Amino acid sequence: MSKQVWDPCSILSPVPAVLATVRDQSGKDNVLTIAWCGTVSSNPPMVYISVRKERFSHHMLKESGEFVINLTTERLLRAADYCGVRSGRNEDKFAAAGLHKEEASKVSAPLIKESPVNIECRVTEVLELGSHDMFLARVEAVDVDESLLDEKGRLMLEKANLIAYAHGSYFPLGEAIGSFGWSVKKK
């Protein structure tokens, strides 16, 4: 296999395409699309989102110290794309994208009703990292649509039709082709 060497760039793919929701201290809400997010710790459960300093939601995140990560599905694809190319400075993106708010149980930022999984987060640290600030956060609560639970209460996330983002395009997550530890299980 022949390879080219490229200059350093942000090419890690795929990444989740999620809708983050925020509320500032005056009660104004906004929703923005985030592809730079992920898990940083399982105990305690912690995540991060990275946001450009010039984005409208940046000051809201700094002020409130809270946000919700709303997982996106194929059904939410148009809304996710729309909220990534429009600014909350100019319009109510919830209304424009046809999204409905629900109150969270632990943080002030709203949940997106149409999202099957909402992760309520409280910021513990903000790292200034060049073009983006990384908001490290503790997971305070996870809200899960009951239709994704099996009879034993186990999460069946494959039923959600989640999407991912890779190099400018959105992709559906397909059928599972393995599971953790399958390569070493005895037959």
Whether residue 173 lies inside any domain: the answer is no
Chain-centre distance for alpha carbon 88: 17
Strand, coil or helix: 158: helix
Whether residue 180 lies inside any domain: the answer is no
Report percent pLDDT > 90 for the chain: 87
**Bigger pLDDT: 186 or 87?**
87
Q: Is the pTM of this model over 0.85?
A: yes
Mean pLDDT of the chain: 95
* CATH number for the domain harbouring residue 22: 2.30.110.10
Pick from 17, 12, 1, 2: which is nearest to 77 by CA? Answer: 17
Query: What is the count of structural domains for the chain?
Result: 1
Q: Which single residue is written with the structure tokens 């991060």?
A: 48
Host domain of residue 57? 15-168
**How many other C-beta atoms are found inside a 10 Å radius of the C-beta of residue 46?**
16
Whether residue 1 lies inside any domain: the answer is no
Q: How far is CA 139 from CA 14, 60, 180, 186, in A?
A: 23, 18, 23, 36
Whether residue 175 lies inside any domain: the answer is no
Q: Where are the alpha helices (DSSP H) in 56-142?
A: 56-64, 77-85, 93-97
CA angle 62, 134, 122 (to 5 degrees): 55
Per-residue pLDDT averaged across 152-169, rounded?
Answer: 93
Whether residue 22 lies inside any domain: the answer is yes
Whether residue 32 lies inside any domain: the answer is yes
Q: What is the model's pLDDT at position 68?
A: 98
68-124 pLDDT, tens digit per residue, is 999 999 999 999 999 999 999 989 999 999 999 999 999 999 999 999 999 999 999
